[in-house]
Structures are given as C-alpha cells and as structure tokens.
C-alpha cells in the first residue's frame, strides 16, 4: 500500500493511477477529495506517523503536499527514515522568475518589505497575522474565512482557482491594486495573477519556497509513477 500526502492536483492525479491511501491535513472544510481511500487530519508528529506507517503496512510514501507545507514534509521524511519506508517528494516546479520581482525568504519578510498602498495578498489565511500592523489596504484572497489578527484595512475575497488572466486583470483594476504579494507555489491554477501583474506593471513581492529535506525529489506525476514502480517491485 502507498501513502500519498497532500491535497494538491498532483496528489489527486497520482491517486487515480495507483492503489493508495491519500492523507489530507483537514485545514479546508470542503476539500477536493481524491479517488480511493482518504484519511483527514494529522498523525501526531513524527512518532505518530511512524507508528501509523507500521500499523498500516505502508510500502512507500509520496509527499505531494503544497510546496509551503514544511512541517509535514519534515515529519514524513524523518518518520520514513525511522521505519525504513521509501520516501519521495513530488513538487511541481516553481514559477518562472521575471525580472523585477522582489524575492523574500518568509511572509514576515514580505510584510517588512511591503511598499505601495493597495495590496493584493494571496499567501493564505494562516499568514494574515504577519500583516496585522501594516498600514496598507489589503485585498486578501483565500479559500476559507480567516480569523484575527489581520490587517485593519482589509477586504476578504473567498475564491478557489483556477483563475484567468482576464479575471485577474479586472480584479486588480477594479480595486486599484499597486502591489501583489504571493508565494512561489507554482502551478497553472494561480499563475494568472503574475501575468496580470506583468501586464499592469504592478510590483510583485514573492516568498521563496522553504528548503526540502535531502530526499529524492521529482516534479511530475509520471516521474513519481516510475519511482513507485521501482520501489514496489523490489
């Protein structure tokens, strides 16, 4: 049996190709569920995940979580090392860099660097607290309603991608956006905002991905399938 971590598009696609248990963090109330068996919620840290792998006779783990889901990736890598289960990271490529983007190492750094007066913020609801003391006006787009603390001047837009360039152009124009803050999540579902920013000549502040553990890493579902074929045939 294979364990697939993550609710990304890559994780859902992989679940259609191999018999697996898919694990979702449970942070979204109505997630897009993959086919097959699904479990929702945490494992209880490294110890809990290691025991779960033993109890369920897992033969391989593919971490296809969001590129910024740093903690579960670290925990899964360590748990698989303990138990001796083959571990693979499946990460879509990041966005193709554009000259003029300002790269930062964290959301906190993005808040400290922030210029402009009307911000389009797409880093997710869990990061809103980092901007709580910023004086700018924010249009914050996310899937789930946020909780305080958050910026004093904020309009929350609940929406789930994919988004179109035309839609993003209209949104930024109608709200007078003069800076975009986002993460290097990669993928086509949310890349339209970057093209719209380029066309409107709006500055972009983009958060780098956190470093990965020293595990084998691939960027496509096809490569993950090839890896699984190799480890499960041993």
Q: What is the CATH number of domain 2-93+210-232?
A: 3.40.50.720
The answer, yes or no, to whether the previous bond of 149 is cis (omega within 30 of 0) is yes
Furthest-apart CA atoms within the chain: distance in Å = 58
Extents of the domains making up the chain: 2-93+210-232, 102-207
pLDDT at 187: 86
Q: What is the DSSP letter of 130?
A: G
Kindly give the confidence (pLDDT) of every residue in the chain, 234 residues in length, as a single tens digit, with 9 standing for 90 and above.
999 998 899 999 999 999 999 999 877 667 788 999 999 999 999 999 999 999 999 999 999 999 999 999 999 999 999 999 999 999 999 999 888 899 999 999 999 999 899 999 999 999 999 999 999 999 999 999 999 999 999 999 999 889 999 999 999 999 999 999 999 999 888 899 999 999 999 999 999 999 999 999 999 999 999 999 998 776
Q: Which token pair is 154?
A: 């904020």
| Cα 187 to Cα 210: distance, rounded to the nearest angstrom | 17
| Cα 175 to Cα 121: distance, rounded to the nearest angstrom | 12
Asked whether 31 and 66 are in contact (CB, 8 A), the reply is no
Asked whether 139 and 179 are in contact (CB, 8 A), the reply is no
Q: Which token pair is 60?
A: 């391989």
pLDDT at 150: 95
The answer, yes or no, to whether the previous bond of 72 is cis (omega within 30 of 0) is no
Give pTM, 2 decimals. Answer: 0.91
pLDDT at 190: 85
Third-level CATH fold of 102-207: Rossmann fold (3.40.50)
Of residues 163, 156, 202, 167, the one with CA closest to residue 185: 163
Domains 2-93+210-232 and 102-207 share a fold: yes
Task: Collect all residues with Cβ–Cβ distance below 8 Å to 56 and sequence separation of at least 6.
Answer: 1, 3, 21
CA distances from 61 to 42, 55, 200, 206 (A): 15, 14, 42, 30
């Amino acid at each position: 049996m294979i364990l697939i971590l993550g609710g990304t598009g890559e994780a859902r696609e992989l679940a259609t190709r191999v018999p697996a248990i898919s694990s979702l963090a449970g942070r979204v109330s109505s997630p897009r569920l993959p086919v097959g068996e699904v479990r929702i919620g945490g494992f209880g840290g490294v110890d809990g995940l290691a025991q779960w792998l033993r109890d369920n006779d897992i033969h391989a783990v593919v971490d296809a979580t969001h590129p910024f889901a740093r903690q579960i990736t670290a925990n899964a890598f360590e748990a698989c090392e303990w138990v001796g289960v083959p571990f693979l990271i499946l990460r879509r490529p990041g966005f193709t860099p554009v000259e003029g983007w300002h790269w930062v190492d964290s959301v906190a750094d993005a808040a400290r660097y922030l210029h402009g007066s009307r911000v389009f913020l797409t880093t997710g609801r869990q990061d809103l607290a980092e901007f709580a003391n910023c004086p700018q006006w924010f249009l914050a787009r996310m899937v789930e309603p946020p909780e305080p603390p958050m910026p004093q001047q904020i309009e929350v837009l609940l929406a789930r991608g994919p988004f179109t360039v035309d839609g993003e152009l209209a949104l930024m124009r109608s709200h007078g956006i003069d800076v975009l803050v986002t993460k290097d999540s990669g993928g086509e579902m949310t890349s339209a905002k970057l093209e719209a920013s380029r066309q409107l000549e709006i500055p972009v502040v983009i958060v780098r991905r956190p470093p990965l553990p020293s595990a084998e890493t691939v960027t496509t579902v096809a490569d993950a399938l090839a890896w699984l074929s190799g480890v499960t045939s041993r």
